[in-house]
Amino acid sequence: MRALPLTLLFAASALAFGQSNQPVAPPIWQMQESGTTVGLRGIDSVDGTVAWASGTGGTVLKTLDGGARWTQCAIPDAAKDGATLDFRGVQAWDAKTAIVMASGPGDKSRLYKTTDGCKTWVLVFKNPDEDGFWDAVSIYDLDDFMILGDPVGGQFSQFITSDAGKTWRKNKISGLQSKKNEGVYAASNSAMFVGWEDGVAAFGTGSPFGARVFYECVPCSSAEKWNSYPVHSFPKGKVSGIFSIYYRDIGSWVTVGGNYTKPNDSTGTAAWSEDGGEHWTASTTPPHGFRSAVQWSESLKAWITVGTNGSDISRDDGKTWQPLDDGNWNALSLPFVVGPNGRIARINPAALPSEKR
C-alpha cells in the first residue's frame, strides 16, 4: 500500500474526525427528547422550568426540569375517544394545574382540566355549536378563561367563563361579524392574544378577501365592542393570512403568517403596528418563510417567530428579521418550541446573533 503524502494524510484525518479550522457554531435551538413522535401543536412555559406541551392523538406532555425530561400525561377521556383528539392548545398555572383545548368539528372541540399533575382530567366544556371549531384559548387566573372559535352564523365564536368553567357565556358584543370564508387558524394557539391585565385582546384572521386584526380595548373605549382593521400585506386565500399575534405593550403589536402551503415564501409573512393595531406596516425584511407563532421576550429584548421552515429574530419590533435556523416548528412559548414528529427544543440565548449596529 502506497503511503499518502503528509498533507493529504492530515486533511483526511481532519475530515474523518469532523475537525476544521472554523469553530462549530452552537445550535440556536437545543433539541430535547420528548418521548413521542406525534405532531406537537401546543406549548406553555410556566417559568422556564415547568412547561406543558400538547398535540395529536390526545397527547399531553410535561416537564419539571426545564426539558431535561419530558413525561407523557394520562390521555383525557382515554376510555372514550380521547386518543382521537387533537390538542392544539395548552395553558398551565403550575406543575399540577393546567387545561388543554382540543380543536375539531363540533363537540370534538373541548376543554379539559387537571389539578393533580395530569394523572386525571375533567371535561370542563364541550363546544355547543355543531358547526363550530375552536382555534385558541387563553387563561388569566384560576377563574377567567376565553375561547375563540371560527364563525358560526356569521359571527366569530367567543366563549368566556369567570368561575373556572362552571358556567360559560357566548360573547355577543358588536364587532365580531365575519366575512364569507373568513376564519382563524388553530396552528399554534396564538392566533388570539389576550393582555388580561391591560384589558386588551386581539386575534388575526385570513380569507379570500384578505387578513384582518380584530381588537378590543376596554380602557380605550366606553363602549364594549370589537374593532377590525385590514392588514393588506398578508396574502389572500383560504390557506393564507394571519396565524399569530402578540404584543410588547398596548401600543406595540406584531403579527406573522403567510401561506402555509408555501413554507419557503417570505412574501407577506409579518407586519407590525405602533398604534394598538389600527394601522399595520409590512416588515421591511420579513421572516424567511411562512410563520405560525410569534412572541416577545423581555429577557432577550427580542421577538422570536417560528414556522415550518425555521425561525427568525427581530430586535426592532418586527420591522426587520434575521434568520435563526431552518427547522420545522409549529408553536412557541419561550424558551421552548415544538413541531411535528415530537420535536421539542429550548432556545440557547448565547447562540443568538448579536444586535446589528
What DSSP line would sit under 34-67, residue for residue?
Answer: -S--SPEEEEEESSSSSEEEEESTT-EEEESSTT
Average pLDDT score over residue span 52-63? 98
> pLDDT (tens digit, 9 = 90+) per residue, 288-309?
999 999 999 999 999 999 999 9
Going from N- to C-terminal start, the domains of the chain cover 26-351
pLDDT band at 1 (very low <50, low <70, confident <90, very high): very low
Query: CATH for 26-351?
Result: 2.130.10.10
8 A C-beta contact, residue 193 and residue 245: yes
pLDDT band at 218 (very low <50, low <70, confident <90, very high): confident
> pLDDT (tens digit, 9 = 90+) per residue, 265-283?
999 999 999 998 999 999 9
Average pLDDT score over residue span 34-47? 98
Look at residue 18 in the predicted model and tell me its pLDDT: 43
Predicted model pTM: 0.92
Among candidates 109, 38, 302, 311, which has minimal Cα distance to 53?
A: 38
What is the three-class DSSP state of 236? coil
Strand order in the sheet with 344-347: 29-32, 344-347, 336-338, 331-333
Convert 46-66 to b/e letters by CB count within 10 Å (16 or more is b).
Answer: beeebbbbbbbebbbbbbeeb
8 A C-beta contact, residue 279 and residue 229: yes
Residue tagged 446573533 (cell numbers): 353
| Strand residue runs (E) in 46-180 | 51-55, 60-63, 70-72, 87-92, 98-102, 110-114, 122-126, 134-139, 145-152, 155-161, 169-170
Residue tagged 392523538 (cell numbers): 57
8 A C-beta contact, residue 332 and residue 190: yes
> pLDDT (tens digit, 9 = 90+) per residue, 117-135?
999 999 999 999 999 999 9
